[in-house]
Structure 1
Amino acid sequence: LAAAPAVQALPAEGGQGPTFAELGLQPALLAGLERLSIGRPTAVQRLAIPALRRGRSALCAAETGSGKTLAYLLPLLEPEAAAGPAAPRGLVVLPSRELAAQVGAVAAALCAPAGLAVRGLTGGGAAGGLRRQLRAPPPGPAVLLGTPGALREALRRRFLALERLRWMVLDEADSLMDETQVVVVGATFPAGLSETLAKFTDVGRFVTLSTQSLHRLPPHVQQKFVRLKGRDKLPELLQLLKERPSSGGAVLIFCNSASTVNWLGYILDDHRIKHLRLQGQMSAAARAGIFASFQKGDVSVLVCTDLASRGLDTSSVQLVVNYDFPDTLQDYLHRAGRVGRVGSKAPGAVVSFVTHRWDVDLVRKIETAARKRTGLPGMDSINKPSPNAVSSNQPFDDTEGHRPSGLVGSGSPAVVQWVPKKLLISRSHH
């Protein structure tokens, strides 16, 4: 069984790969890393740091949980004077206030030894709140982290100026780039992304930084697909939660809609299963602190939508349950990436409830990609396919009573076992 990057032993001195110091980072940032108890750089950090320190714009693509946040923060943060109270030198655009808070905490820890100010800008309140966030002490943020809506409103009201911006990292791109250094970061890159980016920036000048595991199922994470009828999903989930040992780590339960999150939460309340809920229809006040509380371990079960599937650090999670099977392969890959991350104590597992015909179609594609040792289909081919690819024409078959064949998990052979009303596809442990 391949070890998760997060649970591998750190390389010994003189081992493979440079240290953070050997990558040329300044002493103040090295001190910040020490405060975060971070040792050696991961693969994407070794790729990205030298290129971004040279000022290259980049498409930075690596599997989820591989350490992309530090990959772009470390080379772009500079121990120097701030630009001004509303004119930052660096901007990170993030899709949610929860992710902005998380990345902000990491950036603040890195910047503290260098005396750099980090500021977060998120919406959910009156316009005066945006002005207060930008003017709050300490003055002159060197780095601003914001959500698209809040940044758009701050720019519209002229609370924020970007004329002194030196670099920008985008999760969602909807503003002009000019000569700003651009870093596009993600764990999945849908097909056509390059053409979309070309509409507002010169993609030809980008250097592509991509790890070999991009768009592939994490080989160290157990994947299980349970074929059952919709009415059986709730009993299956309750049994799974009640049988799970208290030492089994945290659990993420994904639903496809806010209404399902709320409904499932009421059922868990009835069964006295302590949990938290997170979905996009909640008010800013309700969402504030929910994910932080989950990360701290106050509650070990989080019922959520895909709001919690992208970017957020979930190193304490050891089980992901797809109560609703995701709509796209990208969503599946992001959900699966919540386990087996850098910093995780165990590889973890993903259990998916398969109820609809269209769910089975996606499972077939997942199985085929795993068998051929390739990335999931429908995404930009940023990295080259593995030379060890194995071809197969044996499809996933959802006909009851038929034993399907195939592999899930791209690191070693897997076992497919058919049992009454359930199909379990999991990695072998021999």
Structure 2
Amino acid sequence: MLFTDLGLSEPILRAIAEEGYTSPTPIQTKSIPAVLKGGDLLAAAQTGTGKTAGFTLPILQRLSTTKASSGKRLLRVLILTPTRELAAQVQESVVTYGKYTGLKSTVIFGGVGANPQIKAIAGGLDILVATPGRLLDLMSQNCVSLKDIEILVLDEADRMLDMGFLRDIKKILAVLPKQRQNLLFSATFSTEIKALADGLLNAPELIEVARSNSANEAIAQLIHPVDRTKKHPLLAHLIQTNDWKQVLVFTRTKHGANKLVTQLEKDGITSMAIHGNKSQSARTKALADFKAGKLTALVATDIAARGIDIDQLPHVVNYDLPNVSEDYVHRIGRTGRAGSNGVAVSLVCVDEHQMLRDIEKLIKQKLPQEVITGFEPDPNAVAQPIQLRSQQHQQSRKPRPAGSGGAPAKKAPAKRGSPPKRSFNR
């Protein structure tokens, strides 16, 4: 199937063609016609499957071919995302593929000054991409009105719930028009997501492009058993002996990320950390340098990594296994995209054996293990307790200050001449 078969208008098809895409991904093939029909949608898709375009393209189509009821430019679409990085990525998609439609959009998030965002809203918009905290902040100042919203998108809804945004989402839903189209996208169909969908969606079409909670088959997964004190030397050994050029490394905590960067830098491995305590400028620079190949290792926490979109990222390393098994699928989904192969390596110490069993149960497969010579784990090592996420993020589940959100990361523009036909994974 081609994009020309999906009922998209010439201005949108022209923008898609200029980016070098001809064929939609499975999620796009299913979701674009569903959104164009105007009904509610509940879609599950792993990261890297092209779900952002799965809703931005048909939304652009609907807005560009239908007039607002008043005939004036009205804010008709609201797209909510959990982090600044993801909000910036969605806005980039809207701008890129809507450039010939005449539609106006902007993105708002916390961590930066609100005045430019207020000015952009005041100038008139068709589409608003937002993190919940900053949106509520501007709503409380009467800087944005949602009374004309026709389409609501909750992107990465599972992560929004995990980050404690449910109360904020309910406040936003309370002021939206009752008659609207609702699109809910999630990596998994958890019990919490199903409960949210039951209260939000009206007879939704259900789309699932991969087995729930499954890992991408293009990703080679490997476990390296190792003592907790030897994780850093083993990571440096893997990077240097295998000549890895680009590695996304996940740690459990912000402190752990900072400490690991310091250690890797001493080993001569260029590294930077990205997490919630980093300033917007630091996060943006780290992500841009990593995408540009100036860094070998980008060390990230789960929340900060949401929205990282890097084509053909070859290696992901779980320096620490995640406390929540589903996050393992999200993490390794950063590689093996756009038809390319990827490698996901996990460094597992005795403390994490139960986490590993939980992950294997979730993905329904036993992961291969390889002990690296010189890094053999002590068979007599005793497990130490690991703080659970519910304890780590206790504060995040309390009422949050308005205006909070994640920092934006500008995606480096792709340079293409006459690109070959390829599948659209953005």
TM range (shorter): 0.7 to 0.9
Q: How does 1:262-411 map to 2 (within 5 A)?
A: 262-342=258-338, 346-357=340-351, 359-370=352-363, 407-408=366-367
Q: 1:324 to 1:196 in 2, by over 3 A?
A: same
Task: Give aligned-pair identity as a percent.
Answer: 29
Larger displacement relative to structure 2 (310-319 or 57-66): 310-319
Query: Which structure is richer in relative contact order (CA contacts within 8 A, separation 6 or more)?
Result: 2
Q: Give distance in 2, aligned partners of 1:155 and 1:65.
A: 32
- Listed one character per residue, the Cα deviations across residues 364-391 of structure 1 (whole Å, up to 9, x for unaligned) are 233345556xxxxxxxxxxxxxxxxxxx
> Structure 1, residues 57-96: CA drift from partner, whole Å, max 9, x if none?
1111112211100111111113257899995221111111
SS at structure 2 position matched to 1:155: helix
Is the contact between residue 249 and residue 316 of structure 1 (CA under 8 Å) also seen in structure 2? no
Alignment of 1:237 onto 2:221: no
Q: CA deviation at 1:249?
A: 4.9
Pair 1:98–1:158, CA change in 2 (3 A): same
Question: Corresponding residue for 1:20?
Answer: 3
Matched, 1:46 2:46: no
Confirm or deny: 8 A CA contact 1:130 1:154 kept in the other structure. Answer: no
1:259 maps to which residue?
Answer: 255
Name the CA distance, whole Å, in 1 between partners of 2:276 and 2:72: 31
Cα distance in 2 for partners of 1:70, 1:179 equals: 24
Query: Which residue identity lines up with residue 189 of structure 1 in the other structure?
Result: F
Question: 1:105, 1:295 → 2: CA distance?
Answer: 16
The amino acid across from 1:299 in the alignment is: L
Q: Which residue of 2 aligns with 1:141?
A: 125
Partner amino acid for 2:109? T
Match of 1:383 in 2: none
* Counterpart pick for 2:150 among 146, 166, 169: 166
Distance 2:74 2:272 in 1: 37
Question: Aligned AA for 1:354?
Answer: V
Distance 1:86 1:25, change over 3 A: closer
Structure 1 window deviating more from structure 2 (83-92 vs 257-266): it is: 83-92
After superposition, the Cα gap between the structure-2 partners of 1:140 and 1:260, relative to the gap in structure 1 and judged at 3 Å, is same
1:159-238 matches, within 5 Å, as 159-171=143-155, 172=160, 174=169, 175-176=172-173, 177=176, 178-199=178-199, 201=200, 203-238=201-236
Change beyond 3 A, Cα 1:349–1:90: same
Residue 209 of structure 1 aligns to a residue in which SS?
A: strand
Deviations 1:130-166 (A, max 9, x none): 323434xxx4222111111111111111111111211
5+ long unaligned stretches in structure 2: 161-165, 379-426
Structure 2 residue 107 is the aligned partner of structure 1 residue 107: no
Equivalent residue letter for 1:314: I
Query: What is the rounded CA distance, in whole Å, between the counterparts of 2:71 and 2:113 in structure 1?
Result: 23
Q: Distance in 2 between matches of 1:283 and 1:160?
A: 26
Structure 1 CA distance for aligned equivalents of residues 113 and 218 of structure 2: 45
Instruction: Give me the whole-angstrom Cα distance separating, in 1, the residues matched to 2:193 and 2:247.
Output: 32
More helix by share: 2
* Gap change, CA 1:416 and 1:164, over 3 Å in 2: same
User: For the Cα contact (< 8 Å) 2:224–2:371, is it kept in 1?
Assistant: no
The alignment of Structure 1 onto Structure 2 pairs a total of residues equal to: 356
> Which one of 94, 97, 118 corresponds to residue 131 of structure 1?
118
Please report how far the alpha carbon of residue 418 of structure 1 lies from its aligned counterpart in structure 2 after TM superposition: 6.2
User: What displacement does 1:113 show?
Assistant: 1.6
Q: Partners of 2:279 and 2:371 in 1: how far apart? A: 44
In structure 1, stretches of 5+ residues that fail to align are: 1-17, 373-406, 409-414, 424-430
Q: What's the RMSD between the two structures over aligned residues?
A: 2.5
Change (3 A) 1:315 1:131: same
AA aligned opposite 1:188: T
**What CA deviation, in whole Å up to 9, does each residue of 1:343-372 have, x standing for no partner?**
x6x311111111144x22232233345556
Matched residue SS, 1:260: helix
| Per-residue Cα deviation, 1:281-310 (whole angstroms, up to 9, x for no partner) | 112333234323322333342111113443
SS at match of 1:242: helix
